[in-house]
Amino acid sequence: MKPAREQLIARLSADLQPVVKPAGSAAVLTLWLFGAGLFSLVALLLVGPFRVGSLQQMLDTPRFALENLLGLATIVALGVTGLRLAIPSITPLCARVTWPLVLLAAWLALYAYGFHAPSLPPSMDGKRALCFLEAAIDGLPALLWGLWLARRWWPLHGAWTGCLLGLAAGAMPALLMQLACMYSPSHIFLFHLLPGLALGGVGALAGMWLLRER
């Protein structure tokens, strides 16, 4: 073996520290999802109460429940894939990001269908004064936490990692707004989904900068 290579291997072996917990474990992913969701919930409750009767509406209206369940599945898919992108894998990038984006598209399509036939009667009940700001800001801590985790691992696609984490983090308050704020398809798109999902762009930019290739 070449002497320089041999020296490098000896140096790296001498530098070896035990790995306490491998990155990307299910426990860490679950903790991020629960932590981020809990933060959004608490932040919303601190500003104001949820819409009266929103939980009952979920039980009474299957399509409204489906909207929320699909949103939850989308958030889990985006978050898990975003964090897993920071673990080296032979699977091509497009194959890894397709399914969470398809779920996101399906979720948005369900709301778009609501313009034609809303799942609940549009109403101003429960309107929050600054819901668009809450939707935009409440996801930021989760995004930063996710980027911090990804940075400690080995991200190979910084922009995509940041984008998916931003979409997941922004979709959390946007989803909770369905229960906390007024229900009207145009209001949902403009004031809940758009500001929340804009975090995907913020995440992509932050990821390009913070998660540059090692």
Partner 1 sequence: MSSDPQASRWSADEQRWAGWMALAHGGDQGAYQRLLGELANAIETYIRVRFGALDSLEDCVQESLLAIHKARHTYDPSRPFRPWLFTIVRHKTIDVLRQGRELGGARRVEMLDVGSDPQELQRRLDGVKVLESLAPDHREAIALTHYAGCTSAEAAAWLGISEAALKARLRRGLLSIRRALEAEGLPT
Q: Which residues bind partner 1 (CB under 8 A)?
A: 1-2, 4-5, 8-10, 12-19, 21-25, 86-90, 92-93, 153-154, 156, 213-214
Residue 94 beta carbon to partner 1: minimum distance, rounded to whole angstroms: 9
Min separation Cβ 96 and partner 1, Å: 11
**Closer to partner 1 by Cβ: residue 5 or 116:** 5
Q: How far is CA 50 from CA 74, 122, 134, 172, 182, in A?
A: 22, 16, 13, 15, 9
Given the complex with partner 1, which of 28 and 72 has the nearer CB atom? Answer: 28
Shortest Å, Cβ 204 to partner 1: 19
- What are the counts of helices (DSSP H) followed by strands (DSSP E) for the chain? 10, 0
Closer to partner 1 by CB, 46 or 90: give it. 90
Smallest distance, Å, CB 205 to partner 1?
A: 21
In the complex, the smallest distance separating the C-beta of residue 159 from partner 1, rounded to whole angstroms, is 15
Burial track 101-140 (b if 16+ CB lie within 10 A, e otherwise):
bebbeebbeebeebeeebbbeeeeebebeebbebbbbbbb
Contacts of residue 156, defined as CB under 8 A and 6 or more positions apart, other chains included, come to 85, 86, 88, 213
- What are the C-alpha distances in Å from 81 to residues 11, 67, 78? 34, 21, 5
Nearer to partner 1, 21 or 116 (CB): 21
